[in-house]
Homo-oligomer: A and B are copies of this chain.
Amino acid sequence: MEKIGFIGLGIMGKPMATHLLRAGHSLNVLKTSQASKEMESMGATLHATPAELARASEVVITCLPDSPEVEAIVLGQEGVAEGVREGMLYIDMSTIAPATARKVCEILTAKGVDCLDAPVSGGQAGAEAATLSVMAGGTAAAFGRALPVLQKMGKNIVHIGESGAGQVTKACNQIVVGMTIQAVAEALTLAKKAGVDVARVREALLGGFAQSKILDVHGQRVIEGNYKPGFKVKLHRKDMNIALQTGRELSVPLPGSALVSTQMDALIARGEGELDHSGLALLLEGLAGL
């Protein structure tokens, strides 16, 4: 089985890398990583730099917070790009700007590396249960090669199109999720202030065209006032920024996305950026005096 280098052992990356170890892959991780000691005790090998880690691997996976981190780790000094060889596979599972994904892919492709942007959806719970949804962009060859590896971390794995298409799809996903939460928040806040039983409203709406996974799961959170993450507002805000930036680059107006971003800014300004993104309802409830 391929030797895999995994960079980014955060709340998502750590359980994902653990699944690969348990499936029998030799795993290379960075010495500087917070979780490195724990991963070493499970059998991973530590490396000083991304370049050294890449030299010891056949597949390199990154799962990092944002575009600048991916650029630094892959294209920076002693970065992944300095350690890759022809015939390797690179999978970026971070959520970053499509433009950055394409740039990184171009540079690595020129070195003979198969590249895939493969951002995920499903959060910490999905990472731990290996049930993440994966939206992939890259060549059919890169996708075919990555699929058996991705299947150890996720379930609904879709090849969308060429390089960057995975990140575009993830941006679309975050637009829809963010705006649907805002929709549910506005509806339930109105019902609550009107003195109507919000649980029955949720139930009635789930039976018709207003049905959504968000109304089901986050609607229940709003009713219970349970804003423990889940997926943090500040992380979703970052993803909305990627969507808005991509909209600007492509001259696509995204008025609803911009509004939801602003609502998230307001929540963060109140010091509630660590809450679950369904906390958007809390902002409205505050404004409505509830």
Contacts and interface: CB of A to CB of B under 8 A. Distances in A.
Interface in A182-206: 182-184, 186-191, 193-197, 200-201, 203-205
B175 A183 contact: yes
Contacts of A135: 204
A180 B250 contact: no
A175 to B, nearest CB: 5
Contacts of A182: 179, 256
Contacts of A172: 187-188, 190-191, 201, 205, 210
Interface residues of A, number: 70
Interface string A199-238: 0110111011111111101000000000000000000000
A23 to B, nearest CB: 23
A186 B288 contact: no
8 closest Cβ pairs, A-B complex: A212-B212, A179-B183, A172-B187, A156-B207, A176-B210, A158-B204, A211-B213, A133-B208
A76 interface: no
Q: How many copies does the complex hold?
A: 2
A250 B209 contact: no
Contacts of A183: 175-176, 178-180, 183, 256
Interface in A43-83: none
A251 interface: yes
Contacts of A256: 179, 182-183, 186, 256, 259-260
A243 interface: yes
Contacts of A196: 160-161, 165, 168-169
Contact of A175 (B169, B187, B207): B187
